[in-house]
Structure 1
């Protein structure tokens, strides 16, 4: 069974060469060991989860030299979704790599920059992986009334067949919407009447209707999906997004840290969405979302109760019409036309930007290329549509390069090039450029509701067959065969499907190698941070106590001191250059305190000069401060 391939363990202390996923206690002890055994790492808690577990942060940097808080910073966050334990595993191995490697380049990075790592933002959700009965759980530990019946967590999935995992029930029903997939009897598809197909099954998560409301497993344990709880493209009224943005102690702890550390110049998230294996396209859009159809079909069995609440309309079986309790966990009644925050609701027509500014695309493309080169990952499995995702907040609201990766990929056999692909490659550059949207660089909105691109949002494409084919080829037992079961309420059913965690996490034996590669990538990404220096200075004595002071500042990093979107959104402060004299000593030239909105990287320079009046032989200090690119100072003698 696929779950065994994950090598689950709750053993606290493991040698570095032992591959295993760690529970909270195991992760905590590993972090304490790494921080306690190195003068480069410092461990602290950002806060505690609903269930009282620490949200750990490790700060990595050599404390000799410039103060840590003034250095360019890279933030790495893992395990936002509870079932994505590979995220915390890769974050842990990244920390191990950074504090133990003898690579001189990495040591130089840690002397000049700082790396912040939050290995497991969702410790409560992650801990569910180590329960006696396991099922995919993305949410945190908040008790939540999913079905609006005034009770919380009263109808969870149940392990009916006693195999220790929750999978899917397929129930024979001539009025059902689903049929066995003609290409693979393990899979299901929605019947298409236009293709003369008819449904023969309904699909549900394994369990019973514990609360007697006519729905199966509609109100399980938890909670809020933390990677839907942040302040960009927040999915109002989705039951797993929380009562409001940053509603959770875990997401609030992370945001408090981010807002208090404006030196963070780039963000890397390990999560269910991807913009690294596949960079944003020429329009700035992310790759199409992809999902497991089987899971989506099982989720859909309770869709109407999540929209309406426990009391269904008369057309759906009588009851009390459209009446219901609360807004998903105790909020205001969900009465259409009287919703708080309506102006920000996607239904209102006011949509947040969801496409990367064209001027910033080259940076995303370069980082994507480096990621694929270092990790060898070329193909992902599921790819979730980001809504309220932290990495989207990082770019669109915080204004920095922000990336997300699942941290592993599916095996991919070389594909033969089709004639159509060959013709596209031979397309003349002028024609290719003509197809690129024109106009001034800006961060755009996605397609309007009702005109979404195929494969995005609710039209996300199922990748069940591709995942099964790849995992079969790799020898990963990801699927539980369908087996008959006499259900006490539904009669004869079959139970089977994808095993929990196997689609979102690689086999544990892959973790050391994946961790090393991601440690190398994080080190490479840190070298790309902007870094301001004073590259050249000159003092000209005009006599009579009048001097011209000229300086050139340089950005030796790869990223600019602000992305174009950071300029447009005014989320990144300009770089300040200041000559330390009294304002009335500046006779002409640049202002005493001057600003450069954006200084490109890769050695780009900007010149400032002042004509000042001062005493010959005195000294004058030049200060440069970049919010994302660090600081630089020099002292000049006026001769």
Structure 2
């Protein structure tokens, strides 16, 4: 007989009892939360170990070493139960893939604290005996350490040396602290050919001059620093590096700054992918980073929205446009279009874009409602209704989680500036984010310049005083998300004797979680196995009905069921085992007696 077809759909709303369970799991009292300060690698490691060592539900190990020699920690959260932790539905949480999003590691740490505290409650112990949570709180410790350097700067990249300006040298022209304030901000330089002007509504900020409105550009912006290598570019080749959240396979930003020399080129990004591939029980992914699909879920077409960035920073980075078209590689006589052309073909440039099936670039229409539902739950728990800096998603780990790995995959900044305004800079300024006032400084090659702008990390990290409350709410959300994972069990069995050594064995399986056993895209990408149901008799003893190993490609959640039936030959009193394996929903088995 062919394998079982799709079961009847019964709706996708999350069961009230399931959400009530997640809401009932309480974390530490307010006074027990993490101290309200950002921690460097050593202090962060000490705090993480203290939380883990105080709980019988947690363990920690290193999964990689950063280029600068720092451990990348992974915490496993689970309590003893019927299944090994590696066979249970699991959530993978990752923070600070981009080094300047240091808050992500603190939210992940606070989630660990919340979960270990919840393990002392009946509800928490039940959740952790049936599920596993993996947490990589600070995936990019090299980049994060820039927050604690003697001169602070927004460093999103790790310590891998990259020739960012294509001149055959590495890390030779980084930012310089011209005004001696211990921070790297921006320079605005009077330039009648510049594209930007002081914003008349807020002189702290800049705007692009609108020629159609009669405006003329008056300035050019740069990162704060000198032309240390004398090539006419400013601060184009600093220390590092690779932004790990631009280093993964989906929509990989070929040849762009921070993306690395190739996909998954870094030890930490490779360790994450290797872990996911080796641990197929991971049923959902949550990252803390610069893109969001939780406050603003995918739209009806499956596209992400809410993109916002700091204009000041983008204006400064425009000063580096064309950097790869110069340098030692462009001197090659066979390379008239610049060094970039020697680095290989851009995606799609050397193949017919109309041939074959193209990679999925938006969330599958059948999966959108799951993202919408989780978004509603996220906003309800965290109170977040807006985002701050929201980068377009390119090569991010949460994209890999959905498009390649095939599971519900989420990303959030975990906070948002509270100010109002039309642009990210206006909202940041209105929220009171730390700002270095523009001050005149003498520059060795540019003459008089003004140094100022948002303080390092102010655009991407909230005030340290906000960390405990933000972390507590993220911990609550993590527990709620775990409670939504698929949970497939055998819920009914029946044996009917027909005489003559013939018996009908019926079994019903149920997915009591909210998510299905596989998203639609998980089936399209063939990255999630079907649910497998097996009966423990020889194939030759099956007279009719389902196969010995029967499958269902997607078992909807929220209590949906699928029924399997076999007519078998056997003897009175014979024991027959029935097993179910859902790659993302766990294992179960039961034994029936033929009689």
After TM superposition, the score normalised by the length of structure 2 is 0.91
User: Matched residues in 1 for 2:92 and 2:414: separation?
Assistant: 16
- 1:190 and 2:146 are equivalent in the alignment: no
- Which one of 361, 364, 368 corresponds to residue 361 of structure 1? 368
**Residues 406 and 589 of structure 1, relative CA distance in 2, 3 Å threshold:** same
**Alpha-carbon shift at residue 195 of structure 1 (Å):** 1.0
- 1:36 and 2:53 are equivalent in the alignment: yes
Aligned 8 A contact 2:81 2:130 in 1: no
User: Matched residues in 2 for 1:463 and 1:493: separation?
Assistant: 25
**Alpha-carbon shift at residue 288 of structure 1 (Å):** 3.7
2:588 paired residue number = 632
**3-state SS of the aligned residue for 1:521?**
helix
User: Matched residues in 2 for 1:309 and 1:322: separation?
Assistant: 14
User: Matched residues in 2 for 1:179 and 1:91: separation?
Assistant: 40
Matches within 5 A, 1:262-411: 262-305=280-323, 307-310=324-327, 334-335=340-341, 339-340=344-345, 342-343=347-348, 352-411=359-418
1:468 paired residue number = 429
- CA displacement, residues 53-77 of structure 1 (integer Å, 9 cap, x when unaligned): 1111000010232111110000000
**Residues 104 and 126 of structure 1, relative CA distance in 2, 3 Å threshold:** same
1:421 paired residue number = none
1:580 paired residue number = 536
List gaps (5 residues or longer) in structure 1.
1-13, 314-318, 328-332, 416-460
2:153 paired residue number = 135
Give the alignment's Cα RMSD to 1 decimal. 2.2
- CA displacement, residues 385-438 of structure 1 (integer Å, 9 cap, x when unaligned): 01011001100110000000001112267x9xxxxxxxxxxxxxxxxxxxxxxx
Q: Which stretch shows the higher mean deviation, 518-527 or 486-495?
A: 486-495
User: Matched residues in 2 for 1:25 and 1:555: separation?
Assistant: 43
**Alpha-carbon shift at residue 173 of structure 1 (Å):** 1.6
User: Matched residues in 2 for 1:249 and 1:324: separation?
Assistant: 35
- CA displacement, residues 274-331 of structure 1 (integer Å, 9 cap, x when unaligned): 00001111111111421111101111111111x3133699xxxxx8889699x9xxxx
Matches within 5 A, 1:466-505: 466-469=427-430, 471=431, 476-505=432-461
Matches within 5 A, 1:245-264: 245-264=263-282
**3-state SS of the aligned residue for 1:353?**
coil
**Residues 345 and 41 of structure 1, relative CA distance in 2, 3 Å threshold:** farther
- CA displacement, residues 42-100 of structure 1 (integer Å, 9 cap, x when unaligned): 11111111111111100001023211111000000000000111100000010011011
**Residues 520 and 379 of structure 1, relative CA distance in 2, 3 Å threshold:** same
**Alpha-carbon shift at residue 345 of structure 1 (Å):** 8.0
Aligned 8 A contact 1:233 1:352 in 2: no
**Alpha-carbon shift at residue 544 of structure 1 (Å):** 1.6
Q: Which stretch shows the higher mean deviation, 94-103 or 375-384?
A: 94-103
- CA displacement, residues 18-39 of structure 1 (integer Å, 9 cap, x when unaligned): 2111111111112222222211
- Which one of 120, 123, 147 corresponds to residue 138 of structure 2? 120
**Alpha-carbon shift at residue 542 of structure 1 (Å):** 0.7
Aligned 8 A contact 1:143 1:153 in 2: yes
User: Matched residues in 1 for 2:352 and 2:209: separation?
Assistant: 30
After TM superposition, the score normalised by the length of structure 1 is 0.85
Count of equivalent residues: 562
User: Matched residues in 2 for 1:503 and 1:586: separation?
Assistant: 65
